[in-house]
Amino acid sequence: MDRPADDQRLGRAYLAPEVTVFYDRGRCRHYAECVRGLPQVFDPTRRPWIRADLADPNAIAEVVRRCPTGALHYRLLAAEPEEPTSPTTITTDPQGPLLVRGDLVLDTPDGVLAETRAALCACGRTQNRPFCDGACGVNASHPGGTRDQAPASGKEP
């Protein structure tokens, strides 16, 4: 399987024989598409919170593609990497970021990053440019249910 060089920038890897799921906690803004889509795989009350071995790999990939922030990515053993959507779409979350999907080339402090999904900061307060880091308060009224709302342990899930 060809692995793009940018994999190392996608966060922690959760391995299963036919699929790897990557999670970047700093980019998750709790839209909960993952938890709603495959609760047996994405369970923020469990450690590890992602179990990529508990569902069909293609079903996992389909749910990962729903993640609007790009906090989640996947690599399938038997299929090509995620195709960007076309045309590029930009959706405004009135509570914070711009949700962008498409064939993206992002200018980050660590260099250019090829992406398919991202929640980009629209308020200028983020410490994780160009991504929304929640400084806008987008999750201020969120009741919880995703990883970042778990009690801080200082560790990744």
In angstroms, what CA-CA distances link 129 with 81, 112, 132, 133?
A: 25, 12, 7, 8
In angstroms, what CA-CA distances link 58 with 21, 51, 67, 146?
A: 12, 14, 15, 22
Which residues does 106 contact at the CB level (< 8 Å), separation at least 6? 112, 113, 114, 115, 118, 130
Query: Which residues contact ligand SF4 (rule: CB under 6 A)?
Result: 28-34, 67, 69, 71-72, 146
In the complex with ligand SF4, the residue whose CB is nearer, 35 or 57, is 35
Among 136, 139, 146, 147, binds ligand FES (CB under 6 A): 136
| Minimum distance, C-beta of residue 80 to ligand FES, in the bound complex (Å) | 32
| Minimum distance, C-beta of residue 131 to ligand FES, in the bound complex (Å) | 8
- Binding-residue pattern over the window 49 to 88 for ligand FES, x denoting contact by CB under 6 A: ----------------------------------------
- Binding-residue pattern over the window 94 to 133 for ligand FES, x denoting contact by CB under 6 A: --xx-----------------------xxx-xx-----xx
According to DSSP, residue 137 is labeled -
Element holding 60 (H helix, E strand): helix 57-66
